[in-house]
Amino acid sequence: MLAPPFLRLLRPGLTWVSVLIGGWVSHAQDVEVSTNPTPEFSVIRGAFQTGIVDPLVFPQSRVRLPQPPVSGTATAPAGPGAPDIVPDALGVTSASGFSDLRDTVECRLLGVWMGPMTGLDNREVYAVPTNRGFTAMGPHPLANSQDAFGFPLFQGYLRENGLPVFRYLWGKLAITETILPPMGGPDGPRFKIRYQIQKGSSSLLIEIPEALRPGIQPSAGEWDGNRLKLSPKEAADFTLSFPLIPPGAAAPPQAPAPAVSAPPIPPP
């Protein structure tokens, strides 16, 4: 008996861990499969308190998925000071202790830090550190690309080379994202997001908030202000490198610049 069409498309060596099949069938369902008894990473799926209150980060979640109620009250707290709770997110921690958080509704990276999740609170909501090396801000980086119309649709994740690869559809685009663990550099530790974007017919735009733009290093494309333009060929496989430093934090110490002696004073 032949396997379903979407399984016959998988490349050899890839193992499905969790697949949300929403683009191919009318009724979405979760499939949990793991053939690796000692995975290089652990994944937690559930509600997470992120501390992110920027409404531009969550255009779908705030409309479709209300925040879980706080214990003893009927509704979640309102107001700009209330910490945001993402109802359906994936928290990933690698064997080396590098962690990241993704919203499965917005299909975007929310935070990156060194260390594990902090566990459950009394509302059965997972928490993440407030002092993170990276925190999402502003609209989704792909939101202004011509081929990314409508809303993104999460398609699940699979394991490839020991790392979870996240898949989602957005308009014409079929997108996979992989978070590559941090490595040291002259300006301190950096992590990378590897994008592999298919089926686009026009240039791709990656929009970076002004506060994050100075630290971003792309592997392809050209900057136009705070927008990175990539051709469909470049978008097929490229990376963005980010400093693992919280916004507003002091930069790593740099070697002092050599002293420059003042020019001699000319005689009167």
Asked if residue 182 belongs to a domain, the reply is: yes
Buried b vs exposed e over 156-184: b needs ≥16 C-beta within 10 Å? bbbbeeebbbbbbbbbbbbbbbbbebbee
Asked if residue 263 belongs to a domain, the reply is: no
Which of 73-77, 146-150, 219-223, 243-247 has the lowest average pLDDT?
73-77
Tokens of 126: 């997972």
Burial of 206 from C-beta contacts in 10 A (0-12 / 13-18 / 19+): buried
pLDDT in tens, 106-138: 999 999 998 877 765 556 788 888 888 999 999
Parent domain of 55: 5-68+79-243
Asked if residue 259 belongs to a domain, the reply is: no
Asked if residue 102 belongs to a domain, the reply is: yes
pLDDT in tens, 200-254: 889 999 999 998 898 999 999 999 999 999 999 999 999 999 998 754 554 433 3
Asked if residue 124 belongs to a domain, the reply is: yes
Alpha-carbon gap, residue 19 to 220, rounded angstroms: 30
Supply the pTM of this predicted model.
0.71
Asked if residue 101 belongs to a domain, the reply is: yes
Asked if residue 255 belongs to a domain, the reply is: no
Burial of 149 from C-beta contacts in 10 A (0-12 / 13-18 / 19+): exposed
pLDDT at res. 264: 54
How many domains in the chain?
1
Asked if residue 267 belongs to a domain, the reply is: no
